[in-house]
Chains A and B, each alone.
Chain A
Amino acid sequence: MTIADGPALPKLIGERVKRREDPRLIQGQATYVDDIKLPGMLHLAFKRSDIAHGVIRSIDTSAAAAMEGVELVITGAELAEHLGPMPIGTPFPAPDHYSVATDKVRYVGEPVAVVVAEDRYLARDAADAIEVEYDELPAVVDPEAAMEAGSATLHEGFERNIAVESYWGGTGVNPETAQPEDDSAVDAAFAEADVVVSQRMLNQRLAPNAMEPRGVVAHYEPGREYLTVWSATQNPHILRTLVAALMGLGEHQVRAVAPEVGGGFGCKINIYGEEYVAAALSRLVKAPVKWIEDRTEAFLTTTHGRDLLGYIDLAAKNDGTITGLKARIIADIGAYEVLLTAMIPTLTGLMMNGVYRLPVVRHELTEVFTNKTPTDAYRGAGRPEGLYFLERAVDMVARELGMDPAEIRRKNFVPPDEFPFATQGGLVYDSGNYEPCLDKALEVADWQGLLAERDAARAEGRIVGVGLSFYVEVCGLGPSAVVPTGGWEHSGVTVERGGKVTATTGASPHGQGNETTFAQMLADHFSIPLEDITILHGDTSVVKQGIGTFGSRSQAVGGAALISAAGKAGDKMKQFAAALMTDQEVSPEDLVFEDGRIQVEGAPEVSKTFAEVADYAYVPVPLPPGMEPGVSEEAFFEPENNTYPFGCHISMVEVDRDTGETKLLKLIAVDDCGNVINPLIVDGQVHGGLAQGIGQAMFEEVVYDEDGQPVTASFMDYVMPRAADLPVFELDRTVTPTPINPLGAKGVGEAGTIGSTPCVVNAAVDALAPFGVTHIEMPLRPERMWRLINEGGQS
């Protein structure tokens, strides 16, 4: 088959190509974990702790075990004979954490026993029939009180509930020990400052709330000694590695599959107890088992995000020059360290350099155990917290000095000629050009017009405020030096018979649209139609190697691996093409891909179709000397550094004087994520991120009472942002490519959550500034705002 005189193919990179994934997703034709049904499959239900902290005195499983159709009831202590403590992915000391509690429970929702039964309803009935008696212990809820002598402690060996303590200063740090030898420059900077702002701020705890809850199906086949695990995960290859390790299997004996995954936002990076338990119990009962999380379990047991308390001091000169930062951060990490728990808050301090020349920094971090659900990554993962603290503090300095919030930022920007720029925390920003981005945002927003509009509204007695933030974030995780599982990505590109292309990626999209963007890249690379390309992902038996999708890495790392593999496959196609054109004495180096053909550059008449070259590659008669048949190539891409996208967000809010309700009137986001493959998808990523960042600013918060009982464990009390709460976003971008990968793309998945949160809070503070308000804690609950209007001060 040939494509003789086929139509000219438009270049697709940079085009707003509609997501190829969406028709199946919105028509109910996609396969999620819960759609997987295997013959003889049994169902799991977990008996979970209803207290926050206590010693398990007894577990009576007799009534549950006696129910007809119940295959097995097993307690945590019994299960520990089959499953050791769960591995984590950080180098920090961590207490043992079993999939199912063995002797003590440390948060509401922690599993204490598991039922295996014929159906899901029966499994739940049996779990409810399990009787557990506890000796209750005082709940540790406040992370500051948790560190005081005399507080109850969660874990032996972790005095005062402290999991991690770190300290670094901006000057005089011994790089070998990371200990400060002399950070007197920090004290000097503050002593010499004209203005110092000091603020305690809470970046509150959030529940990720992916639309699809977690779920797992595990099938251990004893005859093959082979385990298959389907899971709603962001990273099937990491799942394979860790499940294999805990099951005592080799990776060659485990296949992990992430079928369609309905959102992750970071909470599906962690490998959870339920995944290990399903694998172990499938082996024990010799049948496939399934567990699907319900929404209550999602609130109680899927990792939470954020929950950082910051004591922030920022020093500046009268002209607005920032001269020093002190940040003392207390992270409430909940009851255990899971996969990346302890690492996330370390990113907060690292990113608190922001986009500024910051001469001196002192950063202290304490991570504290409390009787709450463990924390881990949540969209932005450490960076939103840091940028929130910094951008609030910069705004406070501007207010103190009576400076325009845009101008104080402009004054302190790292200038474009200082890139690559080494921060106080040891990061090296790859590229940046901040001022044009600021100017574009000011222009799109009509900043002066907004200020005039605000002032006019105030003159009418309305309560209106305008806010701005400027963020930089770290994306494209990698490299391997900082990711314990490896920081590379892998891709395979196969040109099939007939000239169609199948590619695999170790990035594991769960909403990011890589089936579209990656196909756009290959369509341009080979100059073939988008429809001729299939992108496969999420199955370790199909995708040879991989790391996964998190840290805005799919495009910057996964895309780079793809293009590298495509390059290899393309080279081989050109060799076969040249072999088909020996009579014309064509060299592979002279060939290019053009409109479905492989042709001599500038001479379309000297060409073969892509399809006929592909067919020849699989029936290579004669086989060109030195060549193997077929075209199936793979590549790993190891980034040498991270990428550092940035952006400027501007918002306008109005507060109802009677009720304290805050309405977001405008949000303008100008983001720079480097080169853009698909502007439609990038806009979509920004939209979603903005909604979540605004959700944190205005609505969302996980609340526990003094006994460690969750107060917000359903959508009746946990406030999610709704479309009607959001204005029509005004988006634009600047483009500063990264030199770190051949695409020049930086990553955009988390950007929206990072800039929008401080931007909206800055606007709310501006709105209430006439009432003497200098800071407002999130979320902007109506009652909180109402009190500030009536009482002034801070909340």
Chain B
Amino acid sequence: MIPTAFEYRRAGSVAEALSLLQEGGPEAKLLAGGHSLIPMMKQRLAEPGLLIDIGGLDELRGIQEDGGEIAIGAAMTHAEIAASDVLRAQAPIVAETAANIGDAQVRNRGTIGGSLAHADPGADLPAVMVALDATIALLGPNGERKVQAEDFFQDILTVDLAEDEIVTGVCFQACRSAAYAKLEQRASKFALVGVAAALSLDGGTCSSARVAVTGASSHAQRLSGVEGALAGASLPGGAADAASGAGDALDFVNEDLHGSEEYRRAMTAVFARRAIEAAAGRS
């Protein structure tokens, strides 16, 4: 619980953070809420020489809705997201997911940008962003870059983010008929399995769907088989059928003390069904 020595710099702007990041090279790490990085530093699993604090930057804050597109700044905390009227009205899946991350201390400090950039295999928000087909905005020395969430998450703790880039925010289309359901790993409160479903509904019929899973595998990813089965399905009755093969289709499944591969595959189907049912119930 005693980290190695490091230098701490509070960036005054995103531009300053970017230049500090370049100066620091591989030794530098960005710090926002610190709820992924600092525990790793305390256990000496991460030993960065320079911490660049971007947590308080106004440029990274705010939740805006404009013509059906919602943008969230990277430094918004889970608690702020959970309390956002805009999100609760227009993308309730995001507010609800944030409200159930970790515990109150985690939600008060942890940020959406940090969660996405860290990409813990059990983090909740990555699945939600994939299901919402969110765009993740990155800023680097060569300017802005936008990456679709499903391409951003690549492998365990691995994302499409260069060492000299900063996640500045996410944006996605407002969507009411979307929901996230998770089986909590009881100790960490990360998702043992979590599934996010975003549906396009025409009455009781699903015209199209995006469904993504977290916790089950190395990184958040779409469940394309479920999405296919949902097209034209009548809901909520057809949720169980559509979800039934969800777990079996995964290439790689995590396995640990809290859940075997078999259990996680089975729970992927269970929580896919629950997420679809909840999303369908929202229409």
In the complex, per-residue mask of A780-795: 1 if CB is within 8 Å of any chain B CB, else 0 = 0111001100000000
A66 shortest CB reach to chain B, Å: 17
Residues of A within 8 A of B263 (CB): 782-783, 786-787
Question: B267 near A: Cβ within 8 Å?
Answer: yes
**In the complex, what distance in Å separates the CA atom of A716 from the CA atom of B5?**
24
Q: Give B residues with C-beta under 8 Å from A.
A: 1-5, 43-44, 183, 186-188, 257-260, 263, 266-267, 270
Residues of A within 8 A of B258 (CB): 717, 781, 783
Q: Which residue of B lies closest to A297 (CB)?
A: B1
Pick the residue among A296, A658, A720 that contacts B1 (CB under 8 A). Answer: A296
When A125-B4, A659-B270, A717-B188 are in contact, do A782 and B183 touch as well, CB less than 8 Å? yes
> Contact between A124 and B2 (Cβ–Cβ < 8 Å)?
yes
Question: A294 near B: Cβ within 8 Å?
Answer: yes
When A659-B267, A783-B258, A783-B263 are in contact, do A720 and B187 touch as well, CB less than 8 Å? yes
Question: A462 near B: Cβ within 8 Å?
Answer: no
Residues of A within 8 A of B260 (CB): 783
> Contact between A719 and B186 (Cβ–Cβ < 8 Å)?
yes
> Contact between A658 and B270 (Cβ–Cβ < 8 Å)?
yes
Residues of B within 8 A of A719 (CB): 186-187
**In the complex, what distance in Å separates the CA atom of A711 from the CA atom of B3?**
22
CB under 8 Å from chain B, chain A span 707-748 = 711-712, 714-720
When A699-B186, A786-B263 are in contact, do A717 and B257 touch as well, CB less than 8 Å? yes
**In the complex, what distance in Å separates the CA atom of A296 from the CA atom of B267?**
31
Question: A120 near B: Cβ within 8 Å?
Answer: yes
CB under 8 Å from chain B, chain A span 760-795 = 781-783, 786-787
**In the complex, what distance in Å separates the CA atom of A5 from the CA atom of B181?**
68
**In the complex, what distance in Å separates the CA atom of A535 from the CA atom of B48?**
49
Pick the residue among A121, A658, A715 that contacts B187 (CB under 8 A). Answer: A715
CB under 8 Å from chain B, chain A span 399-413 = none
Pick the residue among B1, B186, B266 that contacts A295 (CB under 8 A). Answer: B1
Q: Which residue of B lies closest to A779 (CB)?
A: B186
B3 shortest CB reach to chain A, Å: 8
Q: Which residue of B lies closest to A127 (CB)?
A: B2
B219 shortest CB reach to chain A, Å: 18
When A121-B2, A128-B44, A294-B1 are in contact, do A783 and B259 touch as well, CB less than 8 Å? yes
> Contact between B44 and A703 (Cβ–Cβ < 8 Å)?
no
Residues of A within 8 A of B270 (CB): 658-659
Q: Which residue of A lies closest to B103 (CB)?
A: A722
Q: Which residue of B lies closest to A715 (CB)?
A: B187
> Contact between B187 and A661 (Cβ–Cβ < 8 Å)?
no
Interface centre among A294, A659, A787 (most CB of B within 10 A): A659
**In the complex, what distance in Å separates the CA atom of A719 from the CA atom of B267?**
20
For this complex, 11 residue pairs linking A to B, each with C-beta atoms less than 8 Å apart, are A121-B2, A121-B5, A124-B2, A294-B1, A296-B43, A659-B183, A703-B257, A719-B187, A781-B258, A783-B259, A786-B263
Can you name 13 extra interface pairs (CB under 8 A) apart from A121-B2, A121-B4, A782-B263? A125-B4, A125-B5, A712-B257, A716-B187, A719-B186, A781-B258, A782-B183, A782-B259, A783-B259, A783-B260, A786-B263, A786-B266, A787-B263
**In the complex, what distance in Å separates the CA atom of A781 from the CA atom of B184?**
12
**In the complex, what distance in Å separates the CA atom of A699 from the CA atom of B257?**
12
Residues of B within 8 A of A294 (CB): 1-2
**In the complex, what distance in Å separates the CA atom of A128 from the CA atom of B188?**
27
**In the complex, what distance in Å separates the CA atom of A294 from the CA atom of B3?**
12
Pick the residue among B2, B5, B183, B266 that contacts A661 (CB under 8 A). Answer: B183
**In the complex, what distance in Å separates the CA atom of A660 from the CA atom of B3?**
39
Q: Which residue of B lies closest to A119 (CB)?
A: B2
Residues of A within 8 A of B183 (CB): 659, 661, 782
Residues of A within 8 A of B44 (CB): 128
**In the complex, what distance in Å separates the CA atom of A782 from the CA atom of B5?**
41
Q: Which residue of B lies closest to A657 (CB)?
A: B270
**In the complex, what distance in Å separates the CA atom of A718 from the CA atom of B188?**
8
In the A-B complex, the 8 residue pairs with the smallest Cβ-Cβ separation, listed nearest first, are: A294-B1, A124-B2, A719-B187, A719-B186, A716-B188, A783-B263, A658-B270, A717-B187
**In the complex, what distance in Å separates the CA atom of A783 from the CA atom of B43?**
29
**In the complex, what distance in Å separates the CA atom of A719 from the CA atom of B190?**
12
Q: Which residue of A lies closest to B186 (CB)?
A: A719
Residues of A within 8 A of B186 (CB): 699, 719, 782
**In the complex, what distance in Å separates the CA atom of A717 from the CA atom of B186?**
8
Q: Which residue of A lies closest to B264 (CB)?
A: A783
CB under 8 Å from chain B, chain A span 116-136 = 120-121, 124-125, 128
Residues of B within 8 A of A295 (CB): 1
Residues of A within 8 A of B1 (CB): 294-296
**In the complex, what distance in Å separates the CA atom of A782 from the CA atom of B257?**
11
A214 shortest CB reach to chain B, Å: 13
Q: Which residue of A lies closest to B267 (CB)?
A: A659
Residues of A within 8 A of B266 (CB): 786
Q: Which residue of B lies closest to A713 (CB)?
A: B43
**In the complex, what distance in Å separates the CA atom of A659 from the CA atom of B247?**
14
In the complex, per-residue mask of A96-129: 1 if CB is within 8 Å of any chain B CB, else 0 = 0000000000000000000000001100110010
**In the complex, what distance in Å separates the CA atom of A147 from the CA atom of B266?**
39
Residues of B within 8 A of A718 (CB): 187
B124 shortest CB reach to chain A, Å: 15
A717 shortest CB reach to chain B, Å: 5
Q: Which residue of A lies closest to B270 (CB)?
A: A658
**In the complex, what distance in Å separates the CA atom of A715 from the CA atom of B4?**
21
**In the complex, what distance in Å separates the CA atom of A783 from the CA atom of B258?**
8
B196 shortest CB reach to chain A, Å: 17
**In the complex, what distance in Å separates the CA atom of A659 from the CA atom of B258?**
12
Interface centre among B5, B257, B266 (most CB of A within 10 A): B257
Q: Which residue of A lies closest to B187 (CB)?
A: A719
**In the complex, what distance in Å separates the CA atom of A211 from the CA atom of B164?**
40
In the complex, per-residue mask of A635-660: 1 if CB is within 8 Å of any chain B CB, else 0 = 00000000000000000000000110
Interface centre among A296, A703, A783 (most CB of B within 10 A): A783
**In the complex, what distance in Å separates the CA atom of A787 from the CA atom of B257?**
15
**In the complex, what distance in Å separates the CA atom of A659 from the CA atom of B191?**
13
Residues of A within 8 A of B5 (CB): 121, 125
**In the complex, what distance in Å separates the CA atom of A781 from the CA atom of B192?**
13
**In the complex, what distance in Å separates the CA atom of A703 from the CA atom of B270?**
28
Residues of B within 8 A of A120 (CB): 2
**In the complex, what distance in Å separates the CA atom of A685 from the CA atom of B187?**
24
**In the complex, what distance in Å separates the CA atom of A787 from the CA atom of B263?**
9
**In the complex, what distance in Å separates the CA atom of A125 from the CA atom of B44?**
10
B113 shortest CB reach to chain A, Å: 22
Residues of A within 8 A of B257 (CB): 703, 711-712, 717
Residues of A within 8 A of B43 (CB): 296, 714
**In the complex, what distance in Å separates the CA atom of A383 from the CA atom of B270?**
40
Residues of B within 8 A of A711 (CB): 257
Interface centre among A658, A703, A712 (most CB of B within 10 A): A658
In the complex, per-residue mask of A680-702: 1 if CB is within 8 Å of any chain B CB, else 0 = 00000000000000000001000
A129 shortest CB reach to chain B, Å: 11
**In the complex, what distance in Å separates the CA atom of A716 from the CA atom of B257?**
11
B192 shortest CB reach to chain A, Å: 8
**In the complex, what distance in Å separates the CA atom of A74 from the CA atom of B4?**
22
A760 shortest CB reach to chain B, Å: 15
A648 shortest CB reach to chain B, Å: 28
**In the complex, what distance in Å separates the CA atom of A703 from the CA atom of B257?**
9
**In the complex, what distance in Å separates the CA atom of A411 from the CA atom of B67?**
74
**In the complex, what distance in Å separates the CA atom of A714 from the CA atom of B40?**
12
Q: Which residue of A lies closest to B3 (CB)?
A: A121
A61 shortest CB reach to chain B, Å: 19
**In the complex, what distance in Å separates the CA atom of A295 from the CA atom of B43?**
10
**In the complex, what distance in Å separates the CA atom of A719 from the CA atom of B2?**
23
**In the complex, what distance in Å separates the CA atom of A184 from the CA atom of B183?**
53
**In the complex, what distance in Å separates the CA atom of A637 from the CA atom of B55?**
60
**In the complex, what distance in Å separates the CA atom of A712 from the CA atom of B187?**
10
**In the complex, what distance in Å separates the CA atom of A716 from the CA atom of B103?**
13
**In the complex, what distance in Å separates the CA atom of A659 from the CA atom of B267?**
7
Q: Which residue of B lies closest to A781 (CB)?
A: B258
Residues of A within 8 A of B259 (CB): 782-783
CB under 8 Å from chain B, chain A span 661-678 = 661
Interface centre among A45, A711, A712, A786 (most CB of B within 10 A): A786
